[in-house]
Amino acid sequence: MATTDTKTKVGTGVGFVAILVWCLLPIAWIVSLSFKTVDETNAGSAQFLPKDASLDNYKALLGLTDDPVSDAAASDFGQALLNSLVVSLVATVLSVLFATLAAYAIARLEFRGKRLVLSLALAIAMFPVVSLVGPLFDMWRTFGLFNTWPGLIIPYMTFTLPLAIWTLSAFFREIPWEMEQAAQVDGATSWQAFRKVIVPLAAPGVFTAAILTFFFAWNEFVLAISLTSTQKARTVPAQMSYFVGPDPFNPPYGQLATASVIVTVPIIVIVLLFQRKIVAGLTSGAVKG
């Protein structure tokens, strides 16, 4: 029996290590590539670790060097990073704010067509983004929203709001109605009970909705590449598609890897800081009783 348990533990450990290596190897390769010099990447070296580790790629993309960057798209990376940060944060804040109010109404109030509202929200979230690019392109050029921050924030909210509403409505349903009634008996208004009692209790759901919304806006590519034309509003995923290098036969692998590392760091930091709330939000409603 002991031998069987030992074999099971060893097999589980080996499988875990194999899966971990399989998942982390591409990430480790990208990080290693970001520290390689241009000459080393152009030479096509298959060596995993860089021969002479250098921060030149990071300095060039972040504008920390006086040397001009040969690739114009790479020189505009700082502006693209700012665009991504502003667009993602604004879309996240507005989506979570509106979704909180809408989810509370759906969870607490009884009205005709509530199921229809949830069904439409789910349908919108699953709608293919590509099918909206053409109409949005024409509309945004007519309304003067093409190549602007609001021109990206509005369609981002269209797809993030339904997801946030579904996530938050599940949380609000789990909060006992008696707690809100008790707050009102103690003299709190409906708004005060919602703000001081309901929202703090639904904090894991709010964090989960905010993080999922931020992830979508931060990584979105199709709308960003279609609704922008210059670095004025172009976000990082779209900007990276313009990293072409000096010619088509010598792509800037080091700069692409460096940009990938830079845009991944905020995601990793957010996950590490709020991992408990993310798990609580994603597992909410999984057990009933």
**Closest C-alpha to 110, from 173, 161, 165, 164:** 173
Q: How far is CA 204 from the centre of its chain?
A: 17
Instruction: For domain 73-282, say whether CATH 1.10.3720.10 is its number.
Output: yes
Residues 152, 153, 155: CA angle, nearest 5 degrees:
70
pLDDT of the chain, 289 residues: tens digit per residue: 556 677 788 888 888 888 988 888 888 888 888 888 777 777 666 677 788 778 888 888 877 765 555 555 566 888 899 999 999 999 999 999 999 888 888 887 777 777 787 778 777 777 788 888 888 999 999 999 999 999 999 999 988 888 888 888 878 887 777 777 787 777 777 788 888 888 888 887 888 888 888 988 999 999 999 999 888 899 999 988 888 766 666 778 888 888 889 888 888 888 787 777 666 655 554 444 4
Ranges for all domains in the chain classified under CATH 1.10.3720.10: 73-282
What gap in Å lies between CA 150 and CA 156, rounded to an integer? 10
| HSE (side-chain half, CA atoms, 13 Å) at 15 | 6
What gap in Å lies between CA 75 and CA 98, rounded to an integer? 37
Q: Which residues have CB under 8 Å from 161's CB, separation 6+? A: 95, 98, 99, 102, 121
What gap in Å lies between CA 276 and CA 204, rounded to an integer? 8
Residue identified by tokens 């509403």 is 165
Identify residue 254 by its one-letter amino acid code: G
Q: How far is CA 192 from the centre of its chain?
A: 31
Q: What is the DSSP letter of 230?
A: S
pTM for the whole structure: 0.82
Tokens of 66: 């006086």
